[in-house]
Amino acid sequence: MAADPSVVADVRRRVADRLTSWGLEHLVFTTELIVGELVTNAIRYGGAPVGVRLIRDQRLICEVSDPSQTQPHLRRARPTDEGGRGLFLVAQLTHRWGSRYTVAGKTIWTEQLVDEVP
């Protein structure tokens, strides 16, 4: 997908549709937040193309890929900071998360427990 912030809303909608088709409606809100944040970061810091993949297994795995080799770092934003909370939020909403290098850049992945109802 193109590195255009206008695609984030469409990605979130597609994620919601896929989770609903899998019977995972209880994960829609959280997963939309996670994917929206990761795609926004990929667009802002990684450039095009941005890839998104959902994998339903014993856990829900979300992957967002971009061509940048720069690994993200978790930081705590000060109350006066305008940004910097996204990855911290992702870490709080997921069971596990991480990143890996690929031939074409990097992939940030998250895992959510599928049987956990908020």
Strand partners, 63: 53, 109
- Quote the tokens at residue 12: 């979130």
Q: What are phi and psi of 47, to 5 degrees?
A: 85, -175
- Helix, strand or coil, per DSSP, at residue 4: coil
Chain centre to alpha carbon of residue 80: 25
pLDDT band, very low/low/confident/very high, at 12 (cuts 50, 70, 90): very high
Per-residue pLDDT, 6: 82
Q: pLDDT tens digits, residue range 13-50?
A: 999 999 999 999 999 999 999 999 999 999 998 888 99
The model's pTM is 0.89
All structural domains of the chain, each given as residue ranges with its CATH number in brackets, are: 7-113 (3.30.565.10)
Average per-residue pLDDT in the chain? Answer: 89
CB-based contact 48:67 (threshold 8 Å): yes
Dump strand ranges (E) for 23-104.
Answer: 51-56, 59-66, 96-102
Say which residue the tokens 């597609």 belong to.
14
Strand partners, 60: 56, 112
Pairwise CA distance, residues 106 & 5, whole Å: 19
